[in-house]
């Protein structure tokens, strides 16, 4: 607890200004009573929608009780950082859709093409917390970003950073949904900001756009069907019935965000960290599939993609390459040659997905071989 008695409204204003200096687009403050979110969390877990994400369940209702997670916590300072690459053009959503329809393109979710946001946000939140601490003398705090133990989005919603869209992501009238959220839990009774209302109205574009029907209804996401879960969180085999629906999305999925009308207000990042690296905005699947483990680790150093490892990387690419079967413009001979090079990969996970992909190309392959 603070050793001095600071002017809390003045301090809250200063925190927001410091946040902006550190690259955050918006910083707001909420109390940490998330009792209203507990029933929804329990129902989601009971339905098994979290799939293999056991860490979602393992913290139990502590996730909805930040004061139990970090004793003494009375407020959350919640910060938004926009992630569209600094130089991204106005027509970025159309460009993304064009790439989805190119059977050779490797589509990586926009947020994951640059530096790992965990590190970027954490460092800046830490710097912000240190400034607060310097101002008040002593501060109990803990920094989180995309961390399982905390229900970040209900906190952000409570702080007035936006509302939960029907796709469950946070939406801001100023910035759509292309941003990251991080928070500092503090033991300082700062004045809180009011929540904002929901502005989805009658729209259901995200529900319609979802390739796997993972959004079961407004705010109800079955993560087990979500391509982000299947390509990032899921460690084992991707269910066969879902593979054709994944298309060429090899890491994450942006479809519900691309469909959302609020993303015409999506904002560019204020920092260069999320600019595309390794050509991930225009890469082809065959080129990425050729990376050996050493090259994957080297190129993905500092990227969020590194955490799925080379094996899952190849798994995802094999699915994408398999899905090019029958697509106009697909270079079947090159795809099949690339897949065959991986057919004896030491990982059974990779071999199984490569086998599936080759089987998908079976008919075209037979025709090619008959010609040749
Ligand atoms: S990320 Fe993709 S798969 Fe997941 S809910 Fe959104 S549109 Fe559906
Ligand atoms: S697409 Fe429509 S329903 Fe879905 S989050 Fe955006 S505004 Fe809400």
Half-sphere exposure at residue 351, Cβ-oriented, CA atoms within 13 angstroms: 6
Q: What residues have CB less than 8 Å from 151, skipping those under 6 apart?
A: 34, 37, 41, 63, 64
| Burial call 151-177: b when 16+ CB within 10 Å, e when fewer | bbbbbbbbbbbbbbbbbbbbbbeebbb
* Separation of alpha carbons 312 and 320, rounded Å: 12
CA of 227 to the centre of ligand 1 (A): 6
315 neighbors 243 (Cβ within 8 angstroms): no
Give me the pLDDT at residue 144, please: 94
What pLDDT, in 10s, does the model give residues 40-77? 888 888 888 888 888 787 777 878 888 888 899 999 99
Q: Is position 364 annotated in a ligand binding site?
A: no
Q: What number does the ligand 1 atom closest to the CA of 252 have?
A: 1
Helix (H, G, I), strand (E, B) or coil at 78: strand
Mean pLDDT (whole number) for 269-294 = 97
Given CA atoms 44, 206, 84, 310 in this order, what sign does their dihedral have?
positive
34 neighbors 65 (Cβ within 8 angstroms): yes
Give me the pLDDT at residue 371, please: 63
167 ligand 2 Cβ < 6 A: yes
Q: Is position 270 annotated in a ligand binding site?
A: no
Length of the chain: 372
Give me the pLDDT at residue 157, please: 96
| Burial call 37-72: b when 16+ CB within 10 Å, e when fewer | beeebeebbeeebbbebeebbebeeebbbbbebbee
Q: Read off the pLDDT band of 2 (50, 70, 90).
A: very low
Q: Is position 181 annotated in a ligand binding site?
A: yes
Is pLDDT at 147 greater than 80 in this prediction?
no
Given CA atoms 290, 295, 296, 302 in this order, what sign does their dihedral have?
negative
Q: Describe the crossing of helices 8-21 and 117-136 by its angle, rounded to 10 degrees.
A: 150
205 ligand 2 Cβ < 6 A: yes
265 ligand 2 Cβ < 6 A: no
CA of 277 to the centre of ligand 1 (A): 24
Q: What residues have CB less than 8 Å from 17, skipping those under 6 apart?
A: none
Q: Read off the pLDDT band of 225 (50, 70, 90).
A: very high
* Separation of alpha carbons 117 and 18, rounded Å: 19
Q: Is 146 a catalytic residue?
A: yes
Q: Which residues are near ligand 1 (CB < 6 Å)?
A: 167, 209-212, 214-215, 221, 226-228, 253, 255-256
Is pLDDT at 3 greater than 60 in this prediction?
no
Q: Read off the pLDDT band of 335 (50, 70, 90).
A: very high
Q: Is position 260 annotated in a ligand binding site?
A: yes
Q: Read off the pLDDT band of 248 (50, 70, 90).
A: very high
- The ligand placed nearest to the CA atom of residue 111 is 1
15 phi/psi in degrees, rounded to 5: -60, -40
Is pLDDT at 188 greater than 60 in this prediction?
yes
Kindly state the tokens that stand for 28: 């707001």
Catalytic residue (choose from 146, 174, 275, 331): 146
Mean pLDDT (whole number) for 165-192 = 97
With tokens 């150093």, the residue in question is: 301
Give me the pLDDT at residue 64, please: 84
Kindly state the tokens that stand for 42: 């329990």
Give me the pLDDT at residue 372, please: 58
Q: Read off the pLDDT band of 37 (50, 70, 90).
A: confident
E strand or H helix at 143, and its extent? Answer: strand 141-145
364 neighbors 332 (Cβ within 8 angstroms): yes
Kindly state the tokens that stand for 365: 């392959």
Q: Describe the crossing of helices 362-371 and 348-360 by its angle, rounded to 10 degrees.
A: 60
38-42, 106-110, 289-293: least confidently modelled range = 38-42
What pLDDT, in 10s, does the model give residues 115-146? 999 999 999 999 999 999 999 999 999 999 98
């Amino acid at each position: 607890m603070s050793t001095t008695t600071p002017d809390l409204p003045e301090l809250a204003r200063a925190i927001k200004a410091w946040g902006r200096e550190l690259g955050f687009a918006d910083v707001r403050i909420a109390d940490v009573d998330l009792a209203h979110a507990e029933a929804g969390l329990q129902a989601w877990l009971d339905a098994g929608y979290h799939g293999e994400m056991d860490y979602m369940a393992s913290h139990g209702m502590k996730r909805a009780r930040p004061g139990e997670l970090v004793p003494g916590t009375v407020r959350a300072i919640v910060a938004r950082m926009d992630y569209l690459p600094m130089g991204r053009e106005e027509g970025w959503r159309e460009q993304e859709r064009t790439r989805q329809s190119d059977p050779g393109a490797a589509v990586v979710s926009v947020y994951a093409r640059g530096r790992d946001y965990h590190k970027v946000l954490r460092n800046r939140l830490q710097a912000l917390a240190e400034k607060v601490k310097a101002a008040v003398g002593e501060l109990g705090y803990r920094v989180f970003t995309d961390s399982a133990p905390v229900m970040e989005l209900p906190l952000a919603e409570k702080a007035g950073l936006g509302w939960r869209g029907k796709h469950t992501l946070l939406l801001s009238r100023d910035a759509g949904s292309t941003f990251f959220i991080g928070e500092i839990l503090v033991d300082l009774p700062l004045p809180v900001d009011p929540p904002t209302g929901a502005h989805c109205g009658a729209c259901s574009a995200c529900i319609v756009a979802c390739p796997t029907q993972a959004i079961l209804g407004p705010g109800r996401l079955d993560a087990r069907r979500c391509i982000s879960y299947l390509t990032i969180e899921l460690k084992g085999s991707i269910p066969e019935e879902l593979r054709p629906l994944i298309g060429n999305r090899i890491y994450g999925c942006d479809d519900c965000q691309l469909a959302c009308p609020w993303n015409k207000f999506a904002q560019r990042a204020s920092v260069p960290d999320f600019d595309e690296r390794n050509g991930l905005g225009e890469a082809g699947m065959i080129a990425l599939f050729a990376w050996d483990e050493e090259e994957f680790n080297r190129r993905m150093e500092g990227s969020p993609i590194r955490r799925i490892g080379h094996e899952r990387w190849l798994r995802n690419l094999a699915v994408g390459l398999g899905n090019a079967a029958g697509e106009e413009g697909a270079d079947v001979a090159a795809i099949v040659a690339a897949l065959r090079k991986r057919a004896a990969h030491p990982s059974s996970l990779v071999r199984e997905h490569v086998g599936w992909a080759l089987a998908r190309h079976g008919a075209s392959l037979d025709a090619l071989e008959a010609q040749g």
